[in-house]
Amino acid sequence: MTLQVDLPDGELIECTRLARAIALARLTKQGLTGIACVVGKVMKIQLSPRAVVGQTGAITVDSEADSVSVRFRQRYTPAGHPGVDPRLIQSGRPSGLLIIDEQSNAVDLFAEARADQGPMSLPYKLTDEDRALLVRLLPDLPQLQAPVTLEAREAFLDAYRAHPDRAGWEPELLSLFDPDVERGRLDDLSLKCQQELRDDFIEQRFAAFNSDHSRAKLLVAGAFIPRQMVLDYLKQRHDMVPVPRRPDEGVSTQTAVLASTQSDVRSAVPEKVPSQDGRSSKDKMREEGLDPTDVYEYHKQLVGKARTKRTAEYFEVSGSLVRRKIRQYKERSQPASPFPVPVNKK
């Protein structure tokens, strides 16, 4: 499933900001639509005291559509009373595996069940039949798009409950990730994404540059990756695409989150100074001192038209110098001829 990643603006993207953008896309699931936003179903069940007696037993699953028997078998016996491993609970109709959080004390839940206890809501996995039903109903319901806000969730579920063809269970939707509340979770995943980027950088899946435009040998904070190279990498390795943005659209919330945590990162490209006819000796030395390899590699990764012009703008040099550096790289890369160079006779 293709996710949308909210990339920082600019032709160069600092590597730690890229890692955080990838992490944020994974947590928010931005870009998912329709059935991809449904992660399960919620059903009401009625627990019975006989569910924990003997080696096998049954509990009653109540819903507005039907009532079915769910069979299970004993897995282990905690001290004091029999226990049931909830991972072994299987149902026939509606079929599926009962999901209970591993942190929940599911054994006590069954042991303490009473006949007068009301129905409880528990999540289940979607079956193929469940998915087929949802696909048929989705055109009649409000559109789902991640991240699913609380307002969108309520509107969708209200419409689902009112639909005449709905099932006896309710869809369980993607949870909403709040970066302000769960900053620690975002930080942890960002570190993992940084390591993924470093591993892929070592495997030469993309190139990076330092703030002085030299080729980066290590992917550390302050190293920058050309935007087009980032787009290709995200599509090929992570099945991610950039968030579509209108020309008049301001900075998005996710971009603000990324920027607020990366304010200490220096900009990759200094502010451009209007070109002047007379160049200082320092400018000439800087231009002539450019590494042909850096110029060639940057020029090579560009796609589309005017690659020489764009390379010249990036290094803030002339187009003729870019062409000369590329020729120098090619001449240097060619193997020396085994034949002697003929000498011109006078």
Q: Are residues 120 and 97 in the same domain?
A: yes
Show which of 116, 135, 154 is a domain's final residue: 135
In a domain, 340, yes or no: no
Q: DSSP readout, 43-84?
A: EEEB--GGGGSSSEEEEEEE-SS-EEEEEEE--B--TTS-B-
Read off the amino acid at residue 30: Q
Q: Are residues 125 and 68 in the same domain?
A: yes
Specify the DSSP class assigned to residue 117. P
Q: Are residues 59 and 93 in the same domain?
A: yes
In a domain, 173, yes or no: no
Q: Are residues 13 and 52 in the same domain?
A: no
Q: DSSP readout, 322-336?
A: HHHHHHHHHHHHSPP
In a domain, 338, yes or no: no
Determine the Cα–Cα distance for residues 53 and 247; give it in Å rounded to an integer.
66
pLDDT beyond 90 at 231: yes
Of residues 121 and 126, more confidence is placed in: 126
At residue 132 the predicted structure's pLDDT band, cuts being 50, 70 and 90, is: very high
Average confidence (pLDDT) over 315-327? 84
What pLDDT does residue 111 have?
43
Q: Are residues 120 and 64 in the same domain?
A: yes
pLDDT beyond 50 at 339: no
What pLDDT does residue 124 have?
76
Radius of gyration of the chain (CA): 30
Q: What is the mean pLDDT of the chain?
A: 70
pLDDT in tens, 143-198: 888 888 888 889 999 999 999 999 888 898 888 787 777 788 899 999 999 999 99
In a domain, 258, yes or no: no
Q: Are residues 24 and 54 in the same domain?
A: no
pLDDT beyond 90 at 225: yes
pLDDT beyond 70 at 250: no
Q: Are residues 46 and 112 in the same domain?
A: yes
Pairing mode of beta strands 3-5, 240-242? parallel
Q: Are residues 59 and 128 in the same domain?
A: yes
In a domain, 168, yes or no: no
What pLDDT does residue 228 have?
93
Number of domains present in the structure of the chain: 3
Average confidence (pLDDT) over 27-44? 84
User: Which residues form the domain of 185?
Assistant: 3-29+180-244
What pLDDT does residue 23 have?
93
What pLDDT does residue 137 have?
93
pLDDT beyond 60 at 69: no
pLDDT in tens, 251-304: 444 444 444 444 433 333 333 333 334 454 445 555 556 778 888 888 888 877
What pLDDT does residue 287 have?
59
Average confidence (pLDDT) over 96-118? 40
Specify the DSSP class assigned to residue 103. T
Q: Are residues 112 and 184 in the same domain?
A: no
What pLDDT does residue 199 have?
94
Closest among 100, 104, 106, 105 to 123, alpha carbons compared: 100
In a domain, 100, yes or no: yes
Average confidence (pLDDT) over 12-26? 93
pLDDT beyond 60 at 63: no
Q: Are residues 49 and 104 in the same domain?
A: yes
Which residue is listed with tokens 């390795």? 237
Q: Both tokens of residue 192?
A: 């993992």
Q: Residue 113: CB partners within 8 Å, gap ≥ 6?
A: 47, 48, 49, 51, 52
Bridge partner residues of 306 (DSSP) = none
Show which of 135, 170, 204 is a domain's final residue: 135
Q: Are residues 10 and 52 in the same domain?
A: no
Determine the Cα–Cα distance for residues 195 and 219; give it in Å rounded to an integer.
10
Average confidence (pLDDT) over 79-89? 41
What pLDDT does residue 289 have?
64
Show which of 82, 112, 135 is a domain's final residue: 135
In a domain, 106, yes or no: yes
At residue 127 the predicted structure's pLDDT band, cuts being 50, 70 and 90, is: confident
What pLDDT does residue 297 have?
81
Q: Are residues 12 and 57 in the same domain?
A: no
Determine the Cα–Cα distance for residues 17 and 58; give it in Å rounded to an integer.
53
What pLDDT does residue 226 have?
94
In a domain, 323, yes or no: yes
Q: Both tokens of residue 343?
A: 């000498």
What pLDDT does residue 345 have?
53
